Chains A and B, each alone.
Chain A
Amino acid sequence: MNTIIRKMLYYILLIFIVTWITFPFIWTFLSSIKSGTELYTRSLVLIPEKPDFSRYMGIITGEEKIMASPGQIVAGETLRAFKWGMINSLIVSGFTTLICLVIGSFAAYSFARLKYKGRNLLFSFITVLRFVPVALLIIPLYLLLRYFSLLDTRLGLIFIYTSFTLPLVIWIMKIFFESLPIELEDAARIDGCGEVGILFRIILPLSLPGLTAAGLLAFIMAYQEFLFALVCTTSLNSRTLPLIMAEFFGRHGMDYGMVCTGAVLGILPPFLLALFSQKYIIQGLLAGAIKR
């Protein structure tokens, strides 16, 4: 009897946890398809009577549109900002991930397999860098980008994000490389394969899970970065989505239904990545933490 009550309690807690985690998402989505009167009410409306997907259509087609509630006008300008924010975010995060993986793999391979002077020292150094608070870097990096006229460019952001993520990527990749059997490389070396050849033909294809883990973390971190984007960008040339969204939320008289629509679309890329490839993300997060 005792165990049954206990099980019941467990399941109640489980349901509570699921509700607590998912409800803000569900609420945001429901708000994005509510009509104006259902949105701006002082009573609890959970499910909209007639789901209204017109806000999504508005963002996707980019057309100027008058929303259901009177006086709430979403100008084409706003929609354009959202679209460019999304494009900038995907470009910046995508390239950051790519560059991190290429440069990081080379560095990690040298740490995992090659022998040279200063290797251990360099690696401890990179480990320490993972714990440098980025707060310290904001003023100098802003001045640096200003000096090189890289303010308000995607290139500037990619440059900054790459270096923030690189130490972590190197760490994860090193641990994955070390877990591969060394016999394969020895065999290749006997067959006359050079270090670059070994890396590209043997190591990298085998460490696809590691690359995925490191890449996902790099993408997620770059996609959500806000402070540097806020400071280093000024226009739609390079403003990323977190920034555009923060601007929307801060504006008075903004249609909350529209803001919720933007939020739903804006979280979609990392949301889907996290949902469907979390095995890799967790592996990446734990690399070096557990397998010590």
Chain B
Amino acid sequence: MRWHELIPYFFIFPALIIIFSVIIYPLLYSFSISLQEYNLLRPEKISFIGLNNYVKLFRDNLFVYSILITIYFVIVSVFIQLLLGLGIALLLNEPLRGRSLVKALLILPWALPGTIIGGMWLWIYHPDYGLINNLLRSINLLKDIEVISWLGSPLLAIHAIIITDVWRLSPFAAVLLLAGLATIPKEIIESSKLDGASSWQRFLYITLPLLKPIIILFLLIRTMFAFQIFDIVYVLTRGGPGTSTFVLMYYAWDKGFNQLNMGYAAAASYVTAIFIIIFATIYMLILRVPLRKGGK
């Protein structure tokens, strides 16, 4: 092999080193930890225990609850985001005055740290002085002495988290879908108008199918990240009240870094990953993505 044939490998080498040491190796390492009794408080007792951590996980009612509440959160919030995003995108696709200004706002909530967004909403949800309760008081839906504790009851808390997440990411969905709408050729729409298609038919038979790749992209990316929701939950509820908003990552973090039970937490995060894969596969199957190779 001559010198200049090696040049490409020098180009790619640094990237590979970093990716291997921070992604590939840890992935395998993490799996091996999940098969061990690995508690940092008892380093002398670290030992191989096979699938015991996984068995223990599924015997823990809280973990099963974590799975269910996470799936509920993922499905509800991602689908509301998709629907609202679609609505916003279709509206902004009309020739309205000031729409470019609105488009400029869409990306903002997505770009900001989740903890700060969580904090902003914490103040909005505040039972005594928060915006929502004060608003309800000002239109007499709530008496002056009454409070609604938006984050204080299990049923309200998970939905408060969903609302915050929807606020943050439905504009983001709109950004993606708007870009998708822009790629639809005007001629198709015009000719279908001439053929007498109603606007609902146009939406159902032209716009929606052509948006499918973007919708799938959004569902895949959002589902993956939604399964790993942590920062907003950490600020808004800390898993509470009680353990009612213990989403999967919060559970794994609690086991790993409050109780220092690393093996158990690693197993929990592997289960999370498996759920992500299952959901991604379901989307692909339902929406029947043509599996093309090569991408171009």
- Kindly supply a per-residue 1/0 record for chain B positions 1-19, scoring 1 wherever the CB is within 8 Å of any chain A CB and 0 otherwise: 0001101111110111011
A199 to B203 Cα, complex, angstroms: 45
Known contacts A10-B94, A119-B8; A163 and B18 CB within 8 A of each other = yes
Q: Known contacts being A141-B26, A166-B18, is A249 close to B96, with CB within 8 Å?
A: no
Contact B22 A263, beta carbon cutoff 8 Å: no
Pick the contact of A11 from B16, B96, B116, B249 — CB < 8 Å?
B96
Residues in chain A near residue B124, CB distance under 8 A: 24, 27
B interface majority secondary structure: helix
Asked if residues A281 and B5 are in contact (CB atoms below 8 Å), the reply is no
B188 part of interface (Cβ distance < 8 Å): no
Residue contact B5 to A103, C-beta cutoff 8 Å? no
> Is A188 positioned at the interface, with any CB of B under 8 Å from its CB?
no
> For the complex, is B179 an interface residue (Cβ under 8 Å from A)?
yes
Chain A: interface size category: 35 or more
A245 x B115 contact (CB < 8 A) = yes
Residue of B nearest to A243 (CB): B115
Interface 1/0 per residue, B106-145 and A, CB below 8 Å: 1111111111111111111010110101110110000010
- For residue B219, CB closer than 8 A to chain A, the reply is no
CB interface residues, A 147-169, toward B, < 8 Å: 159-160, 162-164, 166-167
A256 to chain B, nearest CB (A): 6
Q: Is A204 an interface residue (CB 8 A)?
A: no
Q: Does chain A have a CB within 8 A of B45? A: no
User: What's the minimum C-beta distance from A242 to chain B, rounded to whole angstroms?
Assistant: 4
Cross-chain contact B111 with A220 (CB below 8 angstroms): yes
CB pair B119 A227 closer than 8 Å: no
Hey, which chain B residues are within 8 Å of A292, CB to CB?
213, 295-296
Known: A137-B27, A143-B29. 4 other contacts (CB 8 A): A249-B118, A250-B238, A260-B123, A281-B111
18 sample A-B contacts, Cβ–Cβ < 8 Å, listed by A number:
A17-B102, A20-B167, A28-B120, A41-B134, A107-B12, A119-B8, A133-B269, A136-B270, A139-B269, A143-B33, A226-B113, A246-B231, A256-B123, A267-B113, A270-B112, A286-B179, A290-B214, A292-B295
